[in-house]
Amino acid sequence: MPAAVRRVAADLVLDVAGLCVAARATDYIAATLQSVEGEGRCTAIGHPGGFAAADAALINGIAAHGEDYDDTFEGGPVHAGAVIVPAVLAAAERYGASGEAILCGIAAGTETMCRLGLVAPMRVHKAGFHPTSVFGAMGSAIAVAVTLGLNERQIADAMGIVGSMAGGIIEYLADGAWTKRLHAGWAAQSGIRAALLARGGFVGPRTVFEGTHGFFFGFANSSELDFTPLTGGFGTTWLMETVAFKPYACGTMIHPYIDCAIRLAARGVTADEIVEIECDTAEGIVHRLWEPLARKQAPPNAYAAKFSTPFCMALGFVHGDVGLGAFTDDAVHDERVRALAAKIHYRIDQQNPYPRAFTGHLRATLADGRAIEERQPHFRGGAEEPLTAAEIEAKYVANAAYGGWSPAQTAAARETLRHVFDATLDLKTLRG
pLDDT averaged per 10 residues in sequence order, the chain, 432 residues: 96 98 98 93 96 98 98 91 98 97 98 95 93 98 98 98 97 94 98 98 97 94 87 95 96 96 98 98 96 96 96 97 91 95 98 93 98 96 93 97 97 96 92 92
Residue 386, SS3? strand
123 neighbors 225 (Cβ within 8 angstroms): no
pLDDT of res. 284: 93
Per the CB < 8 A criterion, the answer to whether 2 and 238 are in contact is: yes
Element (H, E) at 281: strand 274-281
- What's the CATH code, domain 252-381? 3.30.1330.120
- The answer to whether 71 and 246 have CB atoms below 8 angstroms apart is yes
Please give the radius of gyration of the chain, using alpha carbons only, rounded to the nearest integer: 21
Helix, strand, or coil (residue 359): coil
Domain boundaries, the chain: 3-245+387-430, 252-381
Q: Which CATH code is given to the segment(s) 3-245+387-430? A: 1.10.4100.10
In angstroms, how far is CA 197 from the centroid of its own chain? 27
Q: Residue 28 has what pLDDT? A: 98
* Residue 224: predicted pLDDT: 77
Q: What is the DSSP letter of 387?
A: P
pLDDT at 241: 96
Return the closest-CA partner of residue 281 out of 257, 311, 313, 307: 257
Helix axes 3-22, 407-418, angle to 10 degrees: 150
Q: What is the rounded average pLDDT for all residues in the chain?
A: 96
- Distance between CA 425 and CA 286 in Å, rounded? 43
**Would you state the pLDDT for residue 245?**
96
Q: What is the pTM of this model?
A: 0.96
